[in-house]
Amino acid sequence: MGRLIVDNLRFRDRGPYSFAIAGGECLGLQGESGAGKTLLLRAIVDLDPHQGSLRLDDLECDRMPAPQWRKKVSMLPAESCWWLDVVAEHFHDFSAVSQEHLALLGFGPEVGGWQVSRLSTGEKQRLAILRMLENRPRALLLDEPTASLDQANSQGVENLLCEYGRANNAPLLWVSHDPKQLDRVADRCLYMRADGSLEPCGGK
């Protein structure tokens, strides 16, 4: 249940990539900057043109409208964007956000009323995770989710995301530059070489 299957995925001059992530499994992805990790995530979330097939169990990406796929297979970009004035306006219903999740990321319920212009980069990043989870995605593609966070907040984010993956049997693809972090969160790891090819490496 909940397998994310990437089959012969090609885009630009890259690929083919073939791998699968089981439901509840976390696959770590490392590699040098500029190797194309973000591009791979963008292709999987169908934000960039690509060939090959993407499946979530028996749901095929090409068979459903793109926005629906992106709600099921959600990507957290390295830098989050906010376009309205107040935090809660970016949520369908902020009051429905779990208090437990808020607390885990170090927020109280009043954060919904905060002005976006006064948020720090780290606060934006943590709130972007809650915003993404509101769609109840069935697979997560995480592009350096803790790059802008201190250690305590990183810990909270790791706990929240891993817990979400386990509870919902969701596959996680976790890009990180920190091998120690991947040791903590990932069941197995891939390394992306500068030419874009993947090879297995470590994991917990």
Partner 1 sequence: MMGVKPLSAFDLSLAAGLVLALALCSWRLRLGLEKRMAISALRTTVQLLLIGQVLRVLFAHASFPFVFLISMVMLMVAGREVGARQHRRIKGFSGWLLGTGSMFVSSFAVAFFALAVVIANDPWYTPQYAIPLLGMLLGNTMNGIALSMDRLTESLWQQRQTVEQRLLLGQTSLEAIHELRQQAMRSGMIPIINSMAAAGLVSLPGMMTGQILGGSSPMDAVKYQILIMFLICAGTGFGVVTAITLTSRKLFDDRQRLRLDVLQKR
Of 82 and 114, the one with the shorter C-beta distance to partner 1 is 82
Of 20 and 66, the one with the shorter C-beta distance to partner 1 is 66
Pull the structure tokens for residue 44.
Answer: 């999987």
In whole angstroms, give the CA distance from residue 138 to residue 1. 10
Of 61 and 160, the one with the shorter C-beta distance to partner 1 is 61
CB of 191 to partner 1, least distance (A): 25
CB of 90 to partner 1, least distance (A): 8
The single residue listed with the structure tokens 């874009």 is: 196
- Name 173's Cβ contacts closer than 8 Å, sequence gap at least 6: 4, 21, 26, 27, 29, 41, 44, 139, 140, 141, 142
In whole angstroms, give the CA distance from residue 90 to residue 83. 8
Q: Which amino acid is at 114?
A: W
- Name 38's Cβ contacts closer than 8 Å, sequence gap at least 6: 77, 78, 143, 175
Of 164 and 189, the one with the shorter C-beta distance to partner 1 is 164
Of 104 and 132, the one with the shorter C-beta distance to partner 1 is 132
CB of 202 to partner 1, least distance (A): 29
Q: What are phi and psi of 107, to 5 degrees?
A: -120, 155
Q: Which residues bind partner 1 (CB under 8 A)?
A: 45-49, 65-68, 70-71, 74-75, 77, 79-83, 131-132, 135
CB of 133 to partner 1, least distance (A): 11
DSSP 9-73: EEETTEEEEEEEE-TT-EEEEEE-TTSSHHHHHHHHTTSS--EEEEEETTEEGGGS-HHHHHHHE
Of 92 and 180, the one with the shorter C-beta distance to partner 1 is 92
What is the DSSP-derived secondary structure letter of residue 147? T
CB of 183 to partner 1, least distance (A): 28
CB of 75 to partner 1, least distance (A): 5
